[in-house]
Amino acid sequence: MANDVGALVSVPGIARWFVRTWPRRIAIAMVVVLLLVIAAVGGFARVPPEPVRQVAAGEVVDLGPYTVSVESFFVSDQVDVYGLPEEADAWIGVVMELENTQLDGLFVDYQNFTLDGAQLVEARSTTVLLLADDSRASFLSPNLPVRVAMLWSVVDPDTIGDEVRLSLIETYEDTSFLFEETSWYVGDRIGVVEVPRDDDIPPAIVDEEP
Amino acid sequence: MSGPTPSLPPYVPGGGREDWMAPAREPFPAAPPPLPQRRSRRATAILAVVGILVLGALGWRVSAEARDAWWNGEAHVPVPVDANGVAELDGLQVELTGVERLDDGVSTYGDRWEPPDGLVLWQVGLAVQNTNTEILSLDVLVQDTEGRRFETGSEVPYGVDGVQDSLEVAPPEPGDDPLPDVQYLLVLMPQDAEPAAVRLESTWSLAPDYFRLPVTQ
Amino acid sequence: MTGGRVPRWVVTVVMLAVLVGAGLGVNALAVQAPPNGPAGVRMSLGVDAVVHPLQLNVSGARAYETVLSEDDVPLETVGVWVLVDLSYATTDRPRGPGDFILVDERGRRYAITSRDFDTWQASPDLWVRGTLVFEVPLDALGDLTLESWASGEGPPSDTPLPYGVLDLSVDPGAIEPGPAVISEPELLPAGQR
């Protein structure tokens, strides 16, 4: 009876409680109908991914915390000679301009860039060289655009053609619900650049013969 | 809800026409009578003590890693020094042979070097014997009577005759020369600094232990 | 518990008065508090300041189009080089000076350049004078603020650590062509800065 709590919290007990009065039955029916209508008009179908935008060399793309404009790439084992992993034969260096658009200085996020068209030793780049003076340029100061070479180590450099594909992946800022801290999260691929080859390496980053 | 439990009739779906708009009444039994308002004083005290103990135990557990890092990160457990002024730990034996004020400057690569005005150069003599292959280098600092610590070999010239740039600690390989009997190091301090002790520390191989050799005049 | 001697409405009124009074008091204190919060230590040009564990004395800032690197190569920039001359020492033991950050009027924050140069080690009451090198865009010049985060924790830290704040003015019309030569940090005689 009324005191029989066990019977009430059992599954049939809860189900019976839900359909106990007519307003509830009507509400449940409306939810069911709504779901059916959404399904009927295709509301649950997967959205096809937007076609990836082709970005021209030299075009400025906003990646979130900074903008990038990709110029060309080169293949060489004469830059950052001591940083080249032993199992790699050469570097692919993608020449680009980066500008931090935030108020704070920040590090380049290598997750923003993926490269196709060569046999990479590591999928992610780990090095950014400043073309002006061969210093490391992974830290970007606000509104100070830098021309850099982003390096990927590769094997079999002779198989690399006249173009490589660089995918640009955006990062977006979000505020943590719990700690009210903002940080950057990896988002979607927003563009692909067919990077033309230009083996005229800026002289400042070419190492002397070791 | 208080008062006598209302006894509901058993529910029959569609049983009564007046039933379908009726609010769903709670068929649960009434709440138990409220607890007595005045808890005894002893119970309150016990509750407070238990609460503090539980919080303390939780905090102790949660902070284990932080305490470990903090305790081992800094040099703060001095190795005891015996009556002869010798301190020993794990095969490493050190003794302070003297701390001396050098008022005439030093010569470095044939040139005379004197400290800037108001600063004083001191020379520290240490006797080190070591069989511990884990301890390869030590930072040597002079602590003054105000507690300030000055690192030897910092802001002083290199290449001074009879003086080392840093303390040799690594046990010599067989066939190599033994460690010098006494090693001399330079330290620069302000004029008002009075050396009180020489500290030998290493974050990696010694901390939280360190050698604290008092300066005796 | 009150024994009914104090009427309830009196208790309510007193509690409200205490709450409102506390709020007004906090407001009055907050108005007088420095804009950089309780942890900000205001510094002045040419005056010793202590941001534990660092003591520092900033003499001024100048702007150059080019600086010579440590290898005597002119370093070009699309912006401008801001050189901050200062001396510092610690209060307790040898350690690094932490982070220095130049903030412009728009709130953009610049760390010392990573292209060359660096800070130098500090020792207790042994003052060493040198130059910090910042690379900033041209439109950042004007009224700048130098922050000294002596702990090295930097602004992202949750801990309210003390940091030094100094107003620095660099006239955008007074940029020297250079190239500026950054001299080696120099140990100073006692009393000099």
Q: Domain ranges in chain B?
A: 77-214
Alpha-carbon distance of A159 to A180, in angstroms, equals 49
Query: Where does the pLDDT of residue A73 fall: very low under 50, low under 70, confident under 90, or very high at 90 and above?
Result: very high
Tell me, yes or no, if A2 comes closer than 8 A to chain B by beta carbon. yes
Looking at residues A18-35, what average pLDDT do you find?
91
Q: Which helix (H) or strand (E) holds B128?
A: strand B119-130
Contact C108 A103 (CB under 8 A): yes
Report chain B residues whose CB lies below 8 A from the CB of C123. 150-151, 154-155, 188
Positions of chain C with pLDDT under 70: 1-4, 33-38, 152-160
**B8:A21 CB<8 A:** no
Contact between residue A73 and residue A199 where contact means Cβ atoms under 8 Å apart? no
Angle at C103 between CA C97 and CA C104, to 5 degrees: 155
Is the CB of C138 inside 8 Å of chain A's CB atoms?
Answer: no
C32 or B131: which leads in pLDDT: B131
The confidence band for B12, taking pLDDT boundaries of 50, 70 and 90, is low
CA A175 to chain B, closest CA, distance in angstroms equals: 27
- Supply the pLDDT for residue C76: 87
The pTM of the whole model exceeds 0.95: no
pLDDT at C36: 58
> Tell me: the pLDDT tens digits for A134-152?
888 999 999 999 999 999 9
C115 → closest Cβ in A104, A133, A142: A133
Residue B2 predicted with pLDDT over 70 = no
The DSSP H or E segment spanning C23 is helix C8-32
For chain C, report the end-to-end CA distance as a whole number of angstroms: 67
Q: Does B29 touch chain A (CB under 8 A)?
A: yes
Q: What is the pLDDT of residue B1?
A: 42
- The verdict on a CB contact (< 8 Å) between A21 and B10 is no
pLDDT at B34: 66
Contact C126 B148 (CB under 8 A): no
**In this complex, do A144 and C137 lie within 8 Å of one another by their Cβ atoms?**
yes
Would you state the CATH architecture of domain A54-205? Answer: Sandwich (2.60)
- Closest residue in A to C81 (Cα–Cα): A144
Chain C positions contacting chain B at CB under 8 Å are 91-94, 121, 123-126, 128, 187-191
Against chain A, the chains showing at least 3 CB pairs within 8 Å are B, C
Token look-up 């010793």 returns C48
Question: Which subunits have 3 or more CB–CB pairs within 8 Å of chain C?
Answer: A, B
* % residues pLDDT > 90 (chain A): 53
- Residue A1's pLDDT band (cuts 50, 70, 90): very low
**Looking at the domain B77-214, which fold is it?**
Immunoglobulin-like (2.60.40)
Q: Residue A61 burial by CB count (10 A; 0-12/13-18/19+): exposed, middle or buried? A: middle
Which of C92, C123, C190 is opposite residue B154, by nearest beta carbon?
C123
User: Is 80 exceeded by the pLDDT of residue B139?
Assistant: yes
The answer to whether residues B124 and B149 touch, using CB atoms and an 8 Å cutoff, is: no
A109-125 confidence digits (pLDDT tens): 999 999 998 889 988 89
Our CA angle for A173, A176, A180, nearest 5°, is: 105
The verdict on A185 touching B (C-beta cutoff 8 Å) is: no
Q: What is the rounded average pLDDT of the residues B13-17? A: 52
Q: How far apart are CA C86 and CA C133, in angstroms?
A: 11
Tens of pLDDT along C55-104?
A: 999 999 999 999 999 888 899 899 999 999 999 999 999 999 989 999 99
Task: Decide if C125 and B117 are in contact by the 8 Å CB cutoff.
Answer: no
Between CA A110 and CA A129, with CA A189 as vertex, the angle to 5 degrees is 25
At A32-70, the pLDDT tens digits run 999 999 999 988 888 877 778 899 999 999 999 999 999
- For residue B11, the model assigns a pLDDT of 59
Q: Which of B148, B149, B190 sits opposite C190 (nearest CB)?
A: B190
Looking at the predicted structure, is the pLDDT value of residue B14 above 60? Answer: no
CA distance C168 to C141: 10
Whether residue A142 and residue C109 make contact (CB cut-off 8 A), yes or no, is yes
Decide if C190 and B141 are in contact by the 8 Å CB cutoff: no
> Which pLDDT score is estimated for C152?
65
Least confident window among A19-33, B41-55, C23-37: C23-37
Q: Tell me, what's the pLDDT at C4?
A: 60
Burial class (CB in 10 A: 0-12, 13-18, 19+), B148: buried
Which among C109, C116, C140 has the least Cβ separation from residue A104?
C109
Axis-axis angle for helices B41-62, B64-73 (nearest 10): 60
C-chain residues near B154 (CB < 8 A): 94, 121, 123
ipTM: 0.75
Beta-carbon contacts of residue C3 (< 8 Å; ≥ 6 apart) = none
C145 touches chain A (CB under 8 A): no
Residue A155's φ and ψ, nearest 5 degrees, are -110, 165
> CA A2 → CA A6, A7, B32, distances in Å?
10, 10, 16
Encoded tokens for C12: 């309510």
pLDDT of residue B3: 47
Residues C76, A103: C-beta atoms closer than 8 Å: no
Residues A120/A150, Cβ–Cβ less than 8 Å = no
Best of A4, A9, A20 to mutate (most B CBs within 10 Å, chain B): A20
CA distances from C133 to C64, C112, C122 (A): 10, 6, 18
Q: What is the pLDDT of residue B20?
A: 52
